[in-house]
């Protein structure tokens, strides 16, 4: 094991682990020194659209990451809820290598048998009927919006409208940005797309008012658990009431499961906790374990809305992405990762609640399974860098919510390590004047 020396309150490696040869017996999590963290390496040819930490990841194993300097991090971010199987999963890697050796891309001019294989599995686990494949959550949500509009036109509604939510986030294209409920990310991109009616989450009375006053509504579109908006769950009784209202009004119920789906909450899809089935369900993120993929899965009301020429994609549904989806779902079942997400998520939440109970400034710990948010009473973006310095990857959403969305292979011991790193950071931050 490489010796470590203490510097500036953090541990830094005297001899970094080689970034070329993954070492499973690498030292305990160590961190960027405070001085190093203050210096971002320039990337003058990359557009300046991200506020990046000065860390370049070299490789990963399981729920651990190593940077190019040999430092190790516990990955509580999972590529933003993407790396379902963690990093370099021993069952996934050979399957993707096999597919790359056969065919990566053909186009949708031809049949792609893996599309039917993945679609059939998604229909089996969701209770829906068919799927369209694309490349991302944004594209899946765009497709859902197009389905809703055409559904309305097919019913003779010239200017169909869609109910969306405060604090929602559905993407950064002009249409999905318009459906998003965050003025800060919308600023500078007007005029936004019309046709959206916004309501607060978990307020059935607000929906009843819209139903009474607006005959142009054709669909309700919401994240089952809002991700970027601060890990805000829809209450199960609210979803049940919403399903009944949509049935009564002949609206489409469209549930964005891009971030909260694919086993993250302890069921295949978060809405299944409420015992309902949507009409349209966008997916992405965890479906491909890191390979770009998106899907829209639809039920009886929506299955025939789009026909040839109504929608399409060049890259979507290519054999590599489809193989990644097929293998991800297969491995999740073989390794019982949905049950693991529920069990380890409960342990992680319990540990956080135990360590942060009665801490002034901690407003709420919420979420389900391995999708958890810790809301503080003040903006806490600084914790992103401090956590990395301490050897933990996290994110901060809605300015004041710490988000944890690790791989579904996380163990209870690793969850305990996560708590041991994060809780002192939160306490120290909240104790600052």
319-334 and 113-126 are packed helices; what angle lies between their axes, rounded to 10 degrees? 40
Token pair for residue 284?
A: 């992405």
Average pLDDT along the chain: 92
Q: What is the pLDDT of residue 219?
A: 98
The neighbour count for residue 25, using CB atoms within 10 Å, is 7
Cα separations (Å) of 252 from 193, 210, 278, 345, 410? 20, 15, 8, 31, 36
Which of the pair, 18 or 15, is modelled with greater confidence? 18
Which residue's structure tokens are 């909260």? 260
Query: Across residues 298-321, what is the average pLDDT?
Result: 97
Token pair for residue 143?
A: 């497709």
109: CB partners within 8 A, 6+ apart: none
Distance CA 258, CA 224 (A): 9
Tell me the per-residue pLDDT of 134-167, one tens digit each, with 9 for 90 and over.
999 999 999 999 999 999 999 999 999 999 999 9
May I ask the CATH class of domain 336-408+420-433?
alpha beta
Give me the architecture of the 92-334 domain, per CATH: 3-Layer(aba) Sandwich (3.40)
Distance CA 219, CA 204 (A): 15
Q: Is the pLDDT confidence value at 375 over 50?
A: yes
The answer to whether 195 and 159 have CB atoms below 8 angstroms apart is: yes
Q: How confident is the model at residue 42 (pLDDT cuts 50, 70, 90)?
A: confident
CA gyration radius, the chain: 22
DSSP single-letter state for residue 240: H
Tell me the per-residue pLDDT of 175-224, one tens digit each, with 9 for 90 and over.
999 999 999 999 999 999 999 999 999 999 999 999 999 999 999 999 99
What is the separation of C-alpha 16 from the centre of its chain, rounded to a whole number of angstroms?
A: 32
Q: Is the pLDDT confidence value at 124 over 90?
A: yes
Kindly list the domain boundaries of the chain, sorted by start residue: 1-47, 92-334, 336-408+420-433
DSSP secondary structure of 262-296:
TTTTSSSSGGGGGT---SEEEE-GGGGTTS--EEE
Q: What is the pLDDT of residue 247?
A: 98
Query: Do the domains spanning 92-334 and 336-408+420-433 agree at the CATH topology level?
Result: no
The answer to whether 137 and 282 have CB atoms below 8 angstroms apart is: yes
Burial 152-164 (b: 16+ CB within 10 A, else e): beeeeeeebbbbb
Catalytic residues: 169, 256, 285
Asked which of 2-11, 60-69, 83-92 is least confident by mean pLDDT, the reply is 2-11
What is the separation of C-alpha 305 from the centre of its chain, rounded to a whole number of angstroms?
A: 27
Give which of 8, 9, 17 is closest to 58, Cα–Cα: 17
Burial 43-77 (b: 16+ CB within 10 A, else e): eeeeeeeeeebebeebbbbbbbbbbebbbbbbbbb
Query: Across residues 354-375, what is the average pLDDT?
Result: 98
37: CB partners within 8 A, 6+ apart: 53, 54, 385, 388, 389
Percent of the chain past pLDDT 70, that is, above it, reads 91
Q: Is the pLDDT confidence value at 22 over 50?
A: no
Burial 313-342 (b: 16+ CB within 10 A, else e): bebbbbbbbbbbbbbbbebbeeeebbebbb
Beta strands in 209-331 (DSSP E): 217-223, 225-226, 232-233, 252-256, 280-283, 294-298
pTM over 0.85: yes
Query: Across residues 268-276, what is the average pLDDT?
Result: 98
Outline where 17-173 has alpha helix (H): 34-37, 78-81, 92-100, 113-126, 137-154
Asked which of 41-45, 311-315, 427-431 is least confident by mean pLDDT, the reply is 41-45
Tell me the per-residue pLDDT of 57-85, one tens digit each, with 9 for 90 and over.
999 999 999 999 999 999 999 999 999 99
């Amino acid at each position: 094991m490489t010796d470590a020396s203490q510097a500036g309150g953090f541990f830094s490696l005297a001899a970094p682990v080689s970034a070329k040869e993954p070492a499973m017996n690498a030292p305990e999590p160590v961190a960027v020194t405070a001085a190093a963290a203050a210096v971002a390496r320039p990337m003058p040819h990359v557009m300046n659209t991200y506020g990046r930490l000065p860390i370049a990841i070299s490789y990963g194993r399981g729920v651990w990451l190593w940077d190019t300097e040999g430092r190790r991090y516990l990955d509580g971010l999972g590529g933003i809820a993407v790396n379902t199987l963690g990093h370099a999963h021993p069952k996934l890697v050979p399957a993707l290598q096999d597919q790359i050796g056969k065919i990566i891309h053909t186009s949708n001019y031809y049949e792609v048998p893996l599309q039917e294989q993945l679609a059939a599995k998604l229909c089996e686990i969701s209770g829906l009927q068919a799927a369209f494949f694309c490349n991302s959550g944004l594209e899946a949500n765009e497709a859902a919006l197009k389905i809703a509009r055409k559904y309305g036109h097919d019913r003779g509604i010239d200017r169909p409208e869609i109910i969306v939510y405060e604090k929602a986030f559905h993407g950064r294209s002009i249409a999905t940005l318009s459906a998003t409920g965050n003025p800060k990310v919308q600023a500078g991109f007007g005029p936004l797309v019309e046709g959206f009616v916004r309501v607060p989450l978990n307020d059935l009375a607000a929906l009843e008012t819209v139903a009474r006053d607006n005959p142009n509504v054709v669909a309700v579109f919401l994240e089952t658990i809002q991700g970027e908006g601060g890990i805000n769950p829809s209450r199960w009784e609210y979803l049940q009431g919403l399903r009944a209202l949509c049935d009564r009004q002949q609206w489409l119920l469209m549930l964005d499961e891009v971030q909260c789906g694919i086993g993250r909450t302890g069921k295949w899809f978060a809405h299944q906790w409420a015992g309902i089935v949507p009409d349209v369900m966008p997916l992405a993120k965890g479906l491909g374990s890191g390979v770009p993929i998106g899907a829209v899965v639809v039920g009886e009301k929506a299955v025939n809305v789009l026909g040839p020429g109504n929608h399409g994609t060049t890259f979507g549904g290519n054999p590599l992405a489809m193989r990644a989806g097929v293998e991800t779902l297969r491995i999740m079942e073989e390794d019982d990762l949905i049950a693991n997400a529920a069990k380890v998520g409960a342990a992680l939440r319990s540990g956080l609640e135990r360590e942060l109970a009665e801490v002034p400034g901690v407003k709420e710990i919420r979420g389900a399974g391995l999708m958890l948010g810790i809301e503080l009473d003040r903006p806490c973006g600084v914790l992103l860098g401090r956590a990395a310095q301490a050897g933990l990857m996290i994110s901060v959403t809605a300015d004041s919510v710490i988000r944890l969305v690790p791989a579904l292979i996380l163990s209870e011991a690793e969850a305990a390590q996560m708590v041991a790193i994060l809780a002192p950071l939160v306490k120290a931050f909240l104790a600052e004047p």
